[in-house]
Amino acid sequence: MISNFELFQRASRVIPGGVNSPVRAFKAVGGTPRFITRAKGAHFWDAEGQRYTDYIGSWGPMILGHGHPAVLEAVIKAAETGFSFGAPTEREIELVEEILKHVPSMQMVRLVSSGTEAAMSAIRLARGATGRSKIIKFEGCYHGHADALLVKAGSGLATFGNPTSAGVPPEVAQHTIVLEFNNIMQLEEAFSLHGKELACLMIEPIAGNMNFVRASAPFAKRCRELCTQYGALLVFDEVMTGFRVALGGAQSIMGINPDITVLGKVIGGGMPLAAFGGSVDVMSQLAPLGPVYQAGTLSGNPVATACGLATLQIISQPNFYTDLFVKTKQLITGLEQAAHHANIDFSTDAEGGMFGFFTMKELPQNYATVMTTDSPKFNKFFHGMLDRGHYFAPALYETGFVSSAHTEDDISATITAAVEVFKSL
């Protein structure tokens, strides 16, 4: 049997960092990445045969767990008729109609293949629809790796962002204004200075890439009001929260209608599929109807749409999200109690099947506060849980996920392990 270490060494010779997405490399927590060989339900197994209770769920998509029979049947049936056609299919229409049924802020949707592609396209659409160039994003919110979005804050509101990645030209970053999450005063000042030049404001309504941090109700409301006042488009990035925290996404919980919504992860059921959508007026700006160009060879892929459609049909059944949140709440309450019994500062939050926790007394409201989390303590917790067969995100700043496949026994076993690990800290 080949070991995870041997596979990592082999991968590192032919793949940069040994992985095809950076967080998988375990750089933040140390140690050797686990190479997964198979998955079923709420668990997956690595190359050494170790079983793990899965709390990353492919970073969100696996809301039904791995290998749900109805989804698997739909995928096999679709694959038997063809992998890709480069031409329209009826299933694309069915999937979009299912999405629109649950997200009233959207009237039309364009399917793409990844969250990054959807967010990038949404920015281009907003710029094309408004005739403006500047955008607002928030520190700690991640919208994929498009150039305009890999930007950190400048020195002040009068200046624009700076690239956070090599290869991003300063002249691209200069059109992006980066603000502090949940800071209403800074938000109002930015609109006062730049409002008439803004194409859009893009935000994760519940941030999932600085762990789990909610946009406060007053802050989200002010984002909507200012965008309306200044003619900018409000873009909700619900790649992570869409169909994860509720059937109508985070916007249904907050009672706010964005102008453009970006979706991914759950709508593909674990296959490469994402989308962006909005009103007929906005979406009609896209080619072939309008001047904003966007295209993709594998957009609306017939196997991916089969997977996504089967997933959405199952999660739209009555009480699905109520039952899912009960499980999620059981997990985070148990973790919090275990930490407090060991006299460790610990705070948690969750919505639907998405959760986060921090080694601090109170929940943070922005990225700067998140960065003060006790990183060494988290790393010890991560490895302690991993050694006991429970796989949380291998990074302090990533949210976690529970699926409908998790059982009460799975969660109880995780909490029992957490009690042991917290005592050792």
- One domain, residues 210 and 62: no
Total-model pTM: 0.96
- pLDDT for 177 equals 93
DSSP bridge pairs for 152 = 162
Structure confidence by residue, pLDDT tens digits, 80-109:
999 999 999 999 999 999 999 999 999 999
- Domain boundaries, position 48: 4-67+318-424
Which residues, in sequence order, are CB contacts of 11 under 8 Å at separation 6+? Answer: 18, 19, 35
* Total number of residues shown for the chain: 425
142 catalytically annotated: yes
Q: Whole-angstrom Cα distance, residue 99 to residue 96?
A: 5
Contacts 24+ apart (CB under 8 A), 187-190: 187/136, 187/219, 187/222, 187/223, 187/226, 188/222, 188/226, 189/157, 190/136, 190/157
Assess whether 50 and 142 both reside in one domain.
Answer: no
The tokens for 57 are 């769920």
The answer to whether the CB of 422 falls within 8 A of the CB of 381 is: yes
Last residue of a domain, one of 284, 315, 346: 315
Among 277, 297, 315, the domain-final residue is 315
CATH number for the domain including 396? 3.90.1150.10
Same-domain pairing of 49 and 88: no
Q: Mean pLDDT throughout 188-192?
A: 97
The predicted-structure confidence for 37-57, as pLDDT tens digits, reads as follows 999 999 999 999 999 999 999
- Which is catalytic among the residues 134, 137, 265, 327? 265
As a dihedral over the C-alpha atoms of residue 265, residue 268, residue 270, residue 272, rounded to 10 degrees, the angle is -90
Please classify residue 165 by burial: count the beta carbons closer than 10 Å to its beta carbon, then call 0-12 exposed, 13-18 middle and 19+ buried. Answer: exposed
Active site residue 265: yes
Domain boundary among 294, 315, 336: 315
Burial of 357 (0-12, 13-18, 19+ CB in 10 A): buried
CA distances from 135 to 89, 132, 200, 235 (A): 35, 9, 5, 10
Asked whether residue 236 falls in the same domain as residue 151, the answer is yes
Residues 322 and 370 in one domain: yes
**281 exposed, middle or buried (CB, 10 Å; 0-12, 13-18, 19+)?**
exposed
Q: Is 414 found in the same domain as 290? A: no
Residues 334 and 311 reside in one and the same domain: no
- Tell me: do 57 and 89 sit in the same domain: no
In the set 54, 237, 259, 410, the catalytic residue is 237
Assess whether 281 carries a catalytic annotation: no
CB neighbours of 344 closer than 8 A, spacing ≥ 6?
Answer: 359, 377, 422, 425
Judge contact between 243 and 210, C-beta under 8 A: no
Nearest to 5 by CA among 43, 42, 33, 38: 33
Domain count across the chain: 2
Same domain for 120 and 18: no
Q: In this structure, are 216 and 347 located in the same domain?
A: no
From the list 52, 55, 142, 391, the catalytic residue is 142
When pLDDT is averaged across residues 105-132 and rounded to a whole number, the result is 97
Do 295 and 233 belong together in one domain? Answer: yes
pLDDT band for 167, please (50, 70, 90 cuts).
Answer: confident
Distance of alpha carbon 171 from the chain centroid: 28
Q: What is the pLDDT of residue 172?
A: 80
**What is the domain-level CATH number for residue 80?**
3.40.640.10
Cis geometry, peptide bond prior to residue 163 (ω within 30 degrees of 0): no
Q: Report how far residue 198's alpha carbon sits from residue 229's, in angstroms, rounded to the nearest whole number.
A: 11
Residues in Cβ contact with 20 at an 8 Å cutoff, skipping those fewer than 6 apart: none
Do 399 and 322 reside in the same domain of the chain? Answer: yes
272-300 pLDDT per residue, tens? 999 999 999 999 999 999 999 999 999 99
- pLDDT band (50, 70, 90) for residue 60: very high
Question: Residue 417 has which token pair?
Answer: 């392990």
